[in-house]
């Protein structure tokens, strides 16, 4: 024997119930527009800026992360150049003199170099996406910390290089 289901009642049409969430729930929801303010939940429930000090600490950490991403990018580029020089040196080893300084410098094993480059790429990629998610808090202070951190990092580590391509913040090349 089948049990009959109770009849469905329309809660939204009842004068005592509203389909909209209560005002307190709306205030706790994430703002989907740019705003200023020191009270912000950043990525995790435990990273909640409850006062100005914790907010400015978060701004500094976000700014520093932008700088760090550019440092990792520059480090990967330098490693790639070193690997290229090492492979060129190995290809031309019979032409080099044993007294040549570059011939005495130890080379990087290709597998170790690939593992290091991949590890740096993973760290840079993850940090880039974290910065993208931080921008998506729509907090103007955090937004400017991301932009300025990436700009300062580029100035410190990459602006003097020739031929550097531009990359998107959420996808390092």
pLDDT tens over the chain, length 173 residues: 666 666 655 555 555 555 666 655 555 666 777 888 888 888 888 888 888 998 999 999 999 999 998 898 888 888 888 777 766 665 555 455 454 545 445 567 778 878 888 888 898 889 899 999 999 989 999 999 999 999 999 999 988 766 555 555 554 55
3-state SS assignment for residue 142 = helix
Rounded to the nearest angstrom, the gap between the alpha carbon of residue 121 and the centroid of all alpha carbons in its chain is 11
CB 142 within 8 A of CB 59: yes
In 3D space, the residue among 153, 149, 166, 137 whose CA is nearest the CA of residue 34 turns out to be 137
Question: Residue 132's pLDDT is what?
Answer: 93
Question: Residue 37's pLDDT is what?
Answer: 81
In the block, which residue shows the tokens 């729509």?
138
- From CA 167, how far away is CA 43, in angstroms rounded? 24
- From CA 121, how far away is CA 139, in angstroms rounded? 28
Q: What is the crossing angle of helices 52-91 and 140-157, to 10°?
A: 30
Rounded to the nearest angstrom, the gap between the alpha carbon of residue 156 and the centroid of all alpha carbons in its chain is 18
Question: Residue 143's pLDDT is what?
Answer: 95
Question: Residue 144's pLDDT is what?
Answer: 96
CB 139 within 8 A of CB 62: no
Question: Residue 104's pLDDT is what?
Answer: 44
Question: Residue 76's pLDDT is what?
Answer: 83
């Amino acid at each position: 024997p089948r049990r009959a289901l109770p009849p469905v009642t329309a809660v939204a049409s009842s004068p005592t119930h509203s389909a909209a969430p209560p005002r307190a729930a709306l205030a706790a929801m994430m703002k989907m527009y740019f705003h200023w303010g020191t009270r912000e939940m950043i990525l995790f429930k435990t990273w909640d800026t409850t006062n100005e000090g914790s907010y400015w600490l978060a701004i500094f950490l976000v700014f520093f992360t932008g700088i760090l991403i550019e440092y990792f990018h520059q480090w990967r580029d330098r490693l790639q150049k070193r690997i290229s020089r090492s492979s060129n040196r190995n290809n031309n080893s019979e032409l080099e003199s044993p007294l040549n300084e570059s011939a005495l410098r130890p080379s990087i094993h290709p597998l170790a170099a690939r593992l290091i480059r991949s590890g740096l790429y993973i760290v840079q990629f993850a940090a880039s996406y974290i910065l993208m998610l931080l921008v998506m808090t729509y907090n103007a202070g955090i937004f400017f910390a991301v932009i300025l951190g990436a700009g300062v990092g580029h100035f410190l580590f990459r602006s003097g290089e020739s031929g550097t391509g531009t990359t998107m913040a959420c996808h390092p090349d």
